Structure 1
Amino acid sequence: MKLVKVCGMREATNIREVEQAGADWIGFIFYPESPRFVHEVPDYLPRKSKRVGVFVNAPKEKISETISLFGLDLVQLHGNESPEFCENIRRSGVKVIKSFRVGDEFKEEEVEPYHGKCDYFLFDTQTSLYGGSGEKFNWETLLNYRGNTFFLLSGGITPGDAEALKTFSYPKCIGVDINSKFEISPAVKDAKLVKQFIKVIKNPGNKIDNKTLLI
């Protein structure tokens, strides 16, 4: 694993702490139904970590406005956005991540039309929600993924998954997306836990200190 995205950030001090903990990408959720909804620009935004804006079926105008306001590097589309819509957002000069919900079986036919229209995919757990369920899916289903688009693994990843993630090997998986299982409260992350998790999955010789596994 080379890349760690920490999603659902909102508080300035916590954003700075998570960036210093080593997060490669930091995600901001612009979906009003989410308890991690960002309704205003924080006093601090990442300077080293890439800024990712998460949207669910938002109009292009709103996404474009937010890209400019927050200086976003990537846009993550978590709704029912079409391949054409993804390509259109991509023309704004940002990279596009399209999220897909994975159930008991991996459905290649759902992702196939998006190849070449997005920069990355994100595979999350299939629930009635648009992500953020805190539930995990069977990672082995991704062995049926035949595409060439690189992806991030998401869905209920916990600090205790660090050891398993060190052995998770798939050539198109570039990293993980963590969120609720690292939280003290909605949108507030335990930066020490994030830091240790990152160290473990990026450095095979390290191990998780069980005393810190409070979640």
Structure 2
Amino acid sequence: MRDGENIRQVSKLGVDYIGMIFWEKSPRNVTMIPSHAGIIPDTTRLVANSETPSCYQRVGVFVDEMAQNIITRVVNFKLDVIQLHGHEEPTLIRNLRSTIDPDLRRGIQIWKAISIMDRNSVAIYKQYEDCIDAFVFDTKCTCIGGSGKQFDWSVLDDYDGEKPFLLSGGIGPDDAARIRDFKHPKMMGIDLNSRFETEPGMKNVELLKQFLTQL
């Protein structure tokens, strides 16, 4: 998300996290603007006004981004969570955490997205379990996120890791009953993206509200 008023409206629904995508190739990209002090957030679109509740956490989504650029956005946007959606190596993730926590952002969480095509895809989590806080299981596709397509959730029966995960990938307004029926001891929530948008980066607040009441 990148519009301050839209963030304010969605936050009133009691969501736990609000995501901001920092990837130039994405139509949902949150931009930065130059200033005499360096590069700062485009607050005209992103930062909601003082009426916005602070009950949600800010998630920054990055795709194979340089560590310094991630750190800059963590500081400037006061991110609570870093979600890595590319081919980041565990060594980079460990170095990133040690640089940020505790000096720049104490308690920063790092999530790793795993692209799921079949049961074999699930096993990739083992490479990252000792360096991240949670996984995001998303649909494998040629694009990076926002595909609107789902994977077969039953393959997550093979996930026996210790870290919690978010279920992602094409979840839409008609999936409330399926989500209620889906059970996994490590599922911490769901990621709602393109199928709840009026345009890239803008959530349909009424559609979200109706959906959340059905869960």
Sort the TM-score into its range (normalised by shorter chain): 0.7 to 0.9
Distance 1:100 1:146 in 2: 15
Quick check: 1:143 aligned with 2:146? no
Match of 1:66 among 58, 65, 73: 73
Question: How does 1:1-215 map onto structure 2 within 5 Å?
Answer: 9-39=1-31, 40-41=42-43, 42-44=46-48, 47-91=54-98, 92-93=100-101, 94-201=108-215
- Alignment deviations for residues 79-111 of structure 1 (CA, whole Å, 9 cap, x no partner): 000112122222313100000100022434421
Using the aligned pairs only, state the percent identity.
39
d(CA) in 2 for partners of 1:176, 1:156: 11
Q: Distance in 2 between matches of 1:43 and 1:151?
A: 28
State the alpha-carbon separation in 2 of the partners of residues 89 and 134 from structure 1: 30
Deviation at 1:196, TM superposition (A): 2.2
- SS of the residue 2:64 aligns to: coil
- TM-score by length of structure 2 reads 0.86
Cα separation, partners in 2 of 1:145 and 1:32, compared to 1, 3 Å: same
Q: Distance in 2 between matches of 1:20 and 1:145?
A: 33
**What is the root-mean-square deviation in Å for CA atoms of aligned residues?**
1.3
Task: Give ranges in structure 1 of 5+ residues lacking alignment.
Answer: 1-8, 202-215
Residue identity matched to 1:76: Q
Bigger mean CA offset, 120-129 vs 109-118: 109-118
Supply the AA of the counterpart residue of 1:122: V
Supply the distance in 1 between the matched residues of 2:191 and 2:97 (Cα, whole angstroms): 21
Structure showing greater relative contact order (alpha-carbon pairs closer than 8 Å, 6 or more residues apart): 1
Task: Look up the equivalent residue of 2:7 and give its one-letter code.
Answer: I
- The unaligned stretches of length 5 or more in structure 2 are 32-41, 102-107
SS at match of 1:171: coil
